[in-house]
Every structure is written in C-alpha cells, then in structure tokens.
Amino acid sequence: MRPQSTRDAWESFQSGEAATVRPQILTSWRRARSNGVDPQRLELTRADIDAQSPFVRAARPVLLKMADLLVGSSTSLALADADGTLTWRWESESALSRALERAEFEPGSRVGEPTAGTNGIGMAQMTNRTSLVIGAEHYKEPWHEWACVASPVVEPISRRVIGTVNVACHAEDANHLLQVAARTLVDGITATLRAAATARQLRMLNTHLSFCGAAGPVVTVGQRTMIVDNAPTELRLNRAGLWSIVVAAGPSATEVTLHDGWSARLHPVTRGRLHDGVVLVLERDRRGSCAEQHGISPLATLSPLEQAEFKVINETLADCGGNKSEAAARLGISRGTLYHRVRRYRLG
C-alpha cells in the first residue's frame, strides 16, 4: 500500500476515516472539527485592529529589515496579535498580495485556530511554539496552496505572549529557511522590546527572576507592569486589581489575602517602598475563612454597598500611591476610619 499523501489524509479525515499525518496536525484538525470550523470555505470573521500597538511598533521595523532580503522570493511576512487577528502584512511582490487577499489573509482577519482551523498562526497561538503548516495540512481547503511558519513572541518583561510572527510562501516553495527566518525575526523583536524596557521594568524582572524557584508561584506587579510565572489559573490575575490590593496593604505589609483560597508573601523590589513594584510569592491560605477555603472570594460575602465601598477605597488608595492620609482626605473620612475599613475588608 502506498503511503498516504497529506491531501489523501485530509480527505480521509474529512470523511471520518483514519488519517496519517503529523500528530500535532491531527490534534489541530480534531480541535478544528470540534469547533465547527468549515473546511471548504474561508469566510473568516473580522475584528478591529490596533495598527499602532506596542507590539506592531516594535516588530514592524524588524520585519522590514528582513523584507529587503526577500524581494523577489515570493514570500510574505505578517504579524498577528495575541488573539490571533492579523494586524500587519508585507509581501515581496504584487501578485502575492493579490493571492493573499483572495485567501482572506489580510489585516483584520481572525486566523486563530478556533475560527480558522489549522494554520501556522493558529497552532502557534494554541501551543506557544513555532508551528509549520504546509499545503493540505491546513484545515481549510482554500489554504492548501500555502505554507506558513509562525512563532509566538514573548514580551521579555511580562513574559507573556503578545503576538505572533508569520512567514508564508506557496507550498511548493517551502523549505527549512522559513523556520530560520521566523526564529530570526522573533529574536530581533525580542531584542527590540528588551532595549525599550525602562530601568524600573528591568529591576522588576531581575528581582522577579531571583524569586523564581521559591516555594510557590511567583507574580511581580507594579503600577503598569505584571510579570507572571506559573500562577494558578483560578486566580484570574488582573494587574490593576492585584496592584490595588498591594497598594492598600502598604509598603510595610508582609502578606495579603487574595481570593480562591490563596494568599501572597510580599517582597518589594526596593525595600520600604512600592513604587518599583512588589514580588508576590503565592501560597494556599490555610488561615482564611471557611468561605475562602472553599474557593469563594472575600468580596462574595459583602453586601452590594460594601462591595462598592471596597472598590472605591481600593481605587482611591491606588490613585494616591498608597498614601493613606491623602486617600482619607480625598474620601472625606478620617485616617482612623480608613484604617478600620482596610482591616474590615482584609486589604492588608
């Protein structure tokens, strides 16, 4: 029996029969089927884009430098945001531009795997790894003439994926240089982002790294930056909310209660002040209330009026940089009353 070609495998899969392809491609095909992606038609959904996002501003010059080397090679370079929406595209020749437009591969198109099925950007977004998709490995048949390799870009300070780089060409022209180009572009973008980091952000990162390997997950948070490593998903971390808890606790606090049964030990980047950010070493809170031990947020036990007061105090303290005297004056209450509210809502 002759080996099954990728096209034969695609047809077998679509008809419900066994398909012999790379395991990661088969897994992606199965996800696409479970998501109800149409394999025959494009009909991509559209989304608004930010063509001047920090990611695009940092990445575009790096890609344009590479573009000078690709003129005449029938190659396309593209960027997608963290949600899998195409935000920027360049191609080496006008014929390629027209072909990509017919393929609906253009800024604003949502090419993430949940809506577009198996493709380089979609797989890179799902796996956080460089992904190569050639010809009939694409879930959508109209993309079978293309090859693409995509690599996620990790912001060097926050350590979160902020977008994806994609290099594409006609399937018959695919070779290992696609992956080399994608990796080179990611390295260049990462270097650009690191060079643009402020001294404060670098201090936060260095301090954060010094606590990695501690007894629990580590999160470092500041007024505009959050760095996360292996934090439990149930915490649903939000930088603004986490920062408000830290500010309310104040620079002398050593521990705060979060929610869902978690607490954190606090380690300011600069001793005695919050301005440079704070490292939080997370741990299960064994001292919390029965509600907290069962994963219920402390806010859930408050009345609507108390919840509103809680949020106002948090926001005011954050606006005042943790200065309780200024926050009390702005709120129109005494410092004693403010301290009582802080203790009551277990903010520190």
Q: Could you tell me which of 347, 221, 199, 342 has the C-alpha nearest to residue 281?
A: 221
CA pair distance 275, 243, nearest whole angstrom: 11
Beta-ladder partners of 134: 147
**Residue 120 vs residue 305, higher pLDDT:** 120
Query: Mean pLDDT across the stretch 77-100?
Result: 94
Most confidently modeled range among 68-77, 85-94, 207-216, 290-299: 85-94
**Token pair belonging to 12:** 């077998």
Top-confidence residue, 80 or 295: 80
Q: Which single residue is written with the structure tokens 């290099």?
A: 167
Give the model's pLDDT for residue 215. Answer: 67
d(CA 80, CA 49): 10
Q: Of residues 37 and 306, which shows the higher confidence score?
A: 37
User: Is the distance from CB of 243 to CB of 270 less than 8 angstroms?
Assistant: no
Whole-angstrom distance, CA of residue 182 vs CA of residue 179: 5
User: Rounded to whole angstroms, how far apart are CA atoms 7 and 23?
Assistant: 16
Helix/strand/coil (H/E/C) assignment for every residue in the chain = CCCCCHHHHHHHHHCCCCCCCCHHHHHHHHHHHHCCCCCCCCCCCECCCCCCCHHHHHHHHHHHHHHHHHCCCCCEEEEEECCCEEEEEEECCHHHHHHHHHCCCCCCEECCHHHHCCCHHHHHHHHCCCEEEEHHHCCCHHHCCEEEEEEEEECCCCCCEEEEEEEEEEHHHCCCHHHHHHHHHHHHHHHHHHHHCCHHHHHHHHHHHHHCCCCCCEEEECCCCEEEECCCHHHCCCHHHHHHHHHHHCCCCCEEECCCCEEEEEEEEECCEEEEEEEEEEEECCCCCHHHHCCCCHHHHCCHHHHHHHHHHHHHHHHCCCCHHHHHHHHCCCHHHHHHHHHHCCCC
| Angstrom distances, CA of residue 200 to CA of 104, 153, 206, 221 | 42, 22, 10, 12
Q: Mean pLDDT across the chain, nearest whole number?
A: 86
Alpha-carbon torsion 40, 43, 49, 51, what sign? positive
* Segment 8-36 mean pLDDT: 94
Q: Render pLDDT for 253-284 as a digit per residue (tens, 0 to 9).
A: 999 988 767 889 999 999 989 989 999 998 87
Overall fold of domain 6-196: Beta-Lactamase (3.30.450)
Distance between CA atoms of residues 335 and 109, nearest Å: 53
Give the pLDDT score at 228.
85
What is the reported pLDDT for 220?
93
| Residue 146 clears pLDDT 50, i.e. is over it | yes
Across residues 240-251, what is the average pLDDT?
90
Q: What are 283-323's pLDDT values in tens digits? A: 876 544 333 333 334 444 455 556 667 777 777 777 677 78
Residues of the chain with CATH 3.30.450.40: 6-196
Range in 65-79, 148-162, 191-205 the model is least confident about:
65-79
pLDDT at 177: 82
Q: What angle do CA 244, 248, 254 make, to 5 degrees?
A: 110
Say how far apart CA 314 and CA 346 lie, in whole Å.
Answer: 11
Of the ranges 92-96, 149-153, 177-181, the best mean pLDDT one = 149-153
**Residue 89 backbone dihedrals phi, psi, to 5 degrees:** -150, 145
Q: Is residue 75 within 8 Å of 91, Cβ to Cβ?
A: yes
- Which of 236 and 282 is assigned the larger pLDDT? 282
Give the lowest-confidence range in 167-181, 210-224, 236-250, 327-341. Answer: 327-341
- pLDDT band for position 185 (50/70/90)? very high
